[in-house]
Amino acid sequence: MLYHRHNLTEEPLAALYNVSQPTVSRTINRIKTALDKILKPLTQPLEKALKAPGSLVIDGTLIPVWNWRSLGKTNFSGKHKRAGCNHQVTCTIDGKLLVITDPLPGAWHDAYAFTKHGLDRYLDETTLADKG
């Protein structure tokens, strides 16, 4: 999970766990395959997912990515002082994950990403969200 959470490359992970880089690569691929099998049945269209009864919690998050020169300005978030992709995450008040949006450039403000993905159509008096 360090690979996904901290955006570490395979070489440092191999050194950290005292295994070879190919072993790390195989392990990551197995974990990805297992996660795909588990999460695929949970995915549903945005319109259906956001019709869940009760309050919705919506928040933006920055997923770190390498700051490649060609994408540096597009993905650099001044708020977080790092490069990344902006995702909007929606769940029920009791924590059931409903939607994680496709990535947008990290330089884009959460409020803009919220509108760009059409989440504003589902905003009502029971929705909990910050201003980005």
Question: pLDDT digit of tens for each residue in the chain (132 aa)?
Answer: 777 777 788 999 999 999 999 999 999 999 989 988 887 776 677 777 777 777 888 888 888 877 656 555 777 777 877 778 889 888 888 888 888 888 888 878 888 888 898 888 877 777 777 766
pLDDT for 11 equals 92
What's the pLDDT at 24? 94
The pLDDT assigned to 67 comes to: 61
Question: What are residue 18's phi and psi, to 5 degrees?
Answer: 60, 45
Q: What angle do CA 103, 130, 88 make, to 5 degrees?
A: 15
Residue 123, pLDDT score: 72
Quote the pLDDT of residue 71.
Answer: 57
pLDDT at 70: 53
**If you search the block for the tokens 């790390």, which residue do you land on?**
24
On the CB side of 4, CA atoms within 13 Å amount to 7
> How confident is the model at residue 69, as a pLDDT?
60
Token readout for 43 is 């995915």
